[in-house]
Amino acid sequence: MDQVRVGMIGYKFMGKAHSHAYRDLPMFFPETPRPVMKAICGRNEAGVNQAAKQFGWEEAVTDWRELVRRDDIDLVDINAPSDAHKEIAIEAAKAGKHLFCEKPLALTLADAREMLEAAEAAGVKHMIGFNYRFAPAVRLAKKLIDEGRLGRIYHFRAVFLQDWILDPDFPLVWRLDKNVAGSGSHGDLGAHLIDMAHYLIGEMTDVVGMSETFIKERPMPSSMTGLSARGSKDAPKGPVTVDDATLFLARFRNGALGSFEATRFAAGHRCTNGFEINGSLGSVQFDFERMNELQVYFTDDAADVQGFRRVLATDPAHAYAEAWWPPGHTIGYEHTFIHETVELMEALRDDREPMPNFRDGVRCQAVLEAVERSVEQKRWVQISEM
């Protein structure tokens, strides 16, 4: 297999990121099977036509049901709004297509499980878009842990801090509507932290959390597209139905303690997706706003030169780095998608499960919902309850 024919549903922010990954992959990873951009699908005909042209798809279509059944499609890429993931994924699986679904897998754990079951029943490959795993600096953290270089893990603390809705007059966009988005900062940002924890540390056993919606009502938007919206601050107001911030504590199966915070009310933080891990032999720190860097500390450094090292993950020793530029020449956000796509293409070629996949989506959803239950019932919740 030297190419994979892709049909993609969705053409906004994530649609653009995925399209770019498909376009760039062959140039930088020529040994990897080549994605063929067959068709892009959206409800708005003019919109999807324009996207197809701009992003480089062979064809634009508006009926996803038709698309997922086409013989010339190997892989269905689902980045439509979250509330549409489930139906599409199940149909596509039934049609025997491999699946690449953006996070969150679904709006509920039950739905996510159905999707996983459908994929497994159909025997298709499935991947979920936790793209932050694919930053080379994150790969380095994983490598250090896997090689035992951090020792026994004691602490994982993670924050995902943004500030884009800090202004109380920012309009009531779809991401603030529970029916469409499922949840707020928790599902949008916290989900990435949870997946990162699963990837780097392992399973959690218990969680306790709290949530808040600081601004309860906002002006209705006059128009919306992707993340942006237009509106007047004098427009009529509607209720914000999702959380502005959610924090939780967790215990991991391996004995580590976890702390998680996701908020859209952290002034000055455009996109601080950060974590720190402390182990018996060392520590690492990551902040997505400096995504090429990993701060690394080892307890066995000589006594007079102990300190966190700023490692720029652009050396040949770092994952994916040799595909790009010489050491010291950094990469950006979009590269996480390219690397993610490399993983997907190679997993399909090698007939193995891509990582992360729907199982990771399900277990992320389980933690998300356990936290929600904890918030509602004001108590510790075991993941095994879910």
Residues 261-300 that bind a copy of itself (CB under 8 A): 261, 263, 265-272, 276, 278-283, 288-292, 296-299
We find the least distance from the C-beta atom of residue 157 to a copy of itself, in angstroms, to be 7
- The phi and psi torsions of 113 (rounded to 5 degrees) equal -65, -40
Let me know: does 60 contact 49? Beta carbons within 8 Å.
yes
- Are 25 and 32 spatial neighbours (Cβ–Cβ below 8 Å)? yes
Closer residue to a copy of itself in complex, CB, 92/266: 266
* Sign of the CA dihedral with 165 first, then 167, 168, and 172 last: negative
For 117, residues 6+ apart whose C-beta sits below 8 A from its C-beta are none
Residues 203-242 that bind a copy of itself (CB under 8 A): 208-210, 212, 214, 227
Instruction: List the structure tokens of 228.
Output: 């942006």
Minimal CA–CA distance to 39: which of 13, 11, 67, 3?
67
Of 110 and 225, CB closest to a copy of itself: 225
Out of 46, 236, 351, 379, the residue judged to bind a copy of itself by CB under 8 A: 379
Q: Evaluate the CA torsion angle 127, 132, 135, 140 in order and state its sign.
A: negative
The secondary structure element, H or E, covering residue 67 is: helix 64-67
Residues 59-118 touching a copy of itself, rule: CB under 8 A, are: none
Return d(Cα 184, Cα 380) in angstroms, integer. 21
Contact letters (x/-) for a copy of itself, 321-340, by CB under 8 A?
---xxxxxxxxxxxx-----
| Site membership for a copy of itself, residue 17 (CB under 8 A) | yes
Query: 358-377 and 191-200 helices cross at what angle (nearest 10)?
Result: 120
Choice between 132 and 199, CB closer to a copy of itself: 132
54 vs 232, beta carbon nearer a copy of itself: 54
Q: Please identify, among the stretches 35-43, 58-66, 191-199, 202-210, the one whose residues bind a copy of itself according to the rule CB under 8 A.
A: 202-210
According to CB under 8 A, which one of 46, 236, 303, 351 is a site residue for a copy of itself?
303
Total number of residues binding a copy of itself (CB under 8 A)? 97
Q: Do 57 and 37 meet the contact criterion of CB atoms below 8 Å apart?
A: yes
**Which has the closest alpha carbon to 177: 163, 188, 168?**
188
Interface with a copy of itself (CB under 8 A), residue from 5, 16, 86, 113: 16
Q: Which residue has the tokens 């009310």?
A: 265
User: Candidates 36-44, 93-101, 182-190, 378-386 — which segment interacts with a copy of itself by CB under 8 A?
Assistant: 378-386
Query: Binding mask 121-140 vs a copy of itself (x if CB under 8 A, - otherwise)?
Result: -------------------x
Residue among 98, 186, 318, 359 that touches a copy of itself (CB under 8 A): 318
Q: What part of residues 47-66 is at the interface with a copy of itself (CB under 8 A)?
A: 54-56
